[in-house]
Amino acid sequence: MSIAFGKALAVRETPIPGLIVLDLPVHGDARGWFKENWQREKMSATGIDLPDFGPVQNNISFNDAVGTTRGIHAEPWDKYVSVATGRIFGAWVDLREGESFGAVFTTELDPSTAIFVPRGVGNSYQTLEVDTAYTYLVNDHWSPDATYTFLNLADETAAIEWPIPLADVEISPKDKAHPRLAEVVPMPPKKILVTGANGQLGRALRDEFGEHPWIEYATRADLDLTSAGLDDARRWRDYSAIINAAAYTKVDAAETPAGRTEAWAANVTAVAALARVASENGITLVHVSSDYVFDGTKDGAYSTDDPVSPLGVYGQTKAAGDAIVASVPRHYIVRTSWVIGDGNNFVRTMASLAERGVDPRVVNDQFGRLTFTDDIASAIRALVTTGAPFGRYNVTGDGGSASWFDVARQVFAMTGHDPQRVTGVSTEEYFAGAQTPIAPRPRNSVLDLSASHATGIMLKDAHVSLRDYLRRT
């Protein structure tokens, strides 16, 4: 066996998206050779997305004869394939749903070469030397409940040019019985789970992502995030992302003994459980945060890097949830404010008061921007599907800031009523004489949108979105 010694670590792309060939440095002399078959730090420096694929099992297939032919098998996990001894001809066929379905790549592998095979790409090989050991790392354990996809080795569409004709080699009966490409059921994408599916953001996410077999919408009745059995509630390795739209948002009620318990359970305990599931299974966790993590005393917009300083219980629970999610390797913290969606909200209340001839008193010393749930849903989809850098993002309406008083007057004017009917009052005046606990509000809820803009997320002007919303309602 001839091995190319002294190659530099390098990667080569292939016609199949995500299928990457690696040249590995092999050091040898008269005694034999040595290589670093898997070196996370060095491979990370190449810029390829291998370090986080999280192998949990190492398998070896030993083949004592030339011409041993196996495959084509596509499993619902990623594989890192290399040769310990000998040499193979490898063939890979994309069996995933999408435009690249049916794409083929072939090459030879020896100990100085490896290949990363993404989930859903069919893997097969034919040995070219005796005593060939074929080794692979995988990032999931074998399960009879997993989804597998297969292709016949002799498929005419793939037209793989095997070095040794298939008629002259030993092939298992199972491999001979696999379907042709036209009959293959493509490997579906990994699933996305949306929790809190009946809430106003959950409904917007349903509109944004649509109804597909790989999108799962769950309510608390479907999935209790605080249950001790959450770890086994799903086959979590089949999921790529969890979008947590479930939250306790009763800001004032959170100041009561019962509300405080509920707020911490939903916004912290449940989030911690999801964070654990996401971390252990390589899942991207999307967490929706709030302007209430700040005290509102900053002069200017809050950036994604500003330290949190919540005033009330609700803000404290959201800040605690943020800290937990930040420990998940793959996470997006989407911080938003003044959310308006499908259901009862400030804008609909003002429109109703205007129509009924009621002249409201509205707080004029709290400033921010309205954020509509369809914009939040669109931003979340962009983060999840484009591979944006993990971290915190502020997502609100764009444009200038306004007070609640300003917004109320805009609603009156846009619905054909006299905005002068709205009277501005301070926060203290508005809540004077309240009989129930009132949560402290941040006076400044303006969030800086630079990080979202840098990622290509362009958010609509809040004033324009308000006009569009009123036209739809």
- Confidence grade of residue 52 (pLDDT, cut at 50, 70, 90): low
Give the alpha-carbon dihedral of 409, 412, 414, 419, to 10 degrees. -60
Whether the predicted pLDDT of 196 surpasses 90: yes
Cα–Cα nearest to 164, from 112, 92, 108: 108
CB 410 within 8 A of CB 369: no
Task: Tell me the per-residue pLDDT of 113-159, one tens digit each, with 9 for 90 and over.
Answer: 999 999 999 999 999 999 999 999 998 888 877 888 999 999 999 99
Mind listing the pLDDT tens digit for each residue in 331-353? Answer: 999 999 999 998 889 999 999 99
CB 23 within 8 A of CB 8: yes
As annotated, the active-site residues are 73, 136
pLDDT in tens, 236-275: 988 999 999 999 999 999 999 999 999 999 999 999 999 9
In the chain the domains, ranked by start, together with CATH numbers, are 10-183 (2.60.120.10), 191-472 (3.40.50.720)
**Angle, helix 462-472 to helix 404-414, in steps of 10 degrees:** 50
Element (H, E) at 438: none
pLDDT per position as a tens digit, 373-402: 999 999 999 999 998 999 999 999 999 999
User: Whole-prediction pTM value?
Assistant: 0.89
Q: What span, in angstroms and rounded, lies between the C-alpha atoms of 22 and 131?
A: 23
Residue 29: predicted pLDDT: 81
- pLDDT of 47 over the 80 cut: no
The length of the chain is 473
Condensed to tens digits (0 to 9), the pLDDT of residues 303-338 reads 999 999 999 999 999 999 999 999 999 999 999 999
449 pLDDT band (50/70/90 cuts)?
Answer: very high
Confidence (pLDDT) at 187 = 92
CA angle 433, 435, 436 (to 5 degrees): 125
Mean pLDDT, residues 196-201: 94
Helix (H) or strand (E) holding 316: helix 313-325
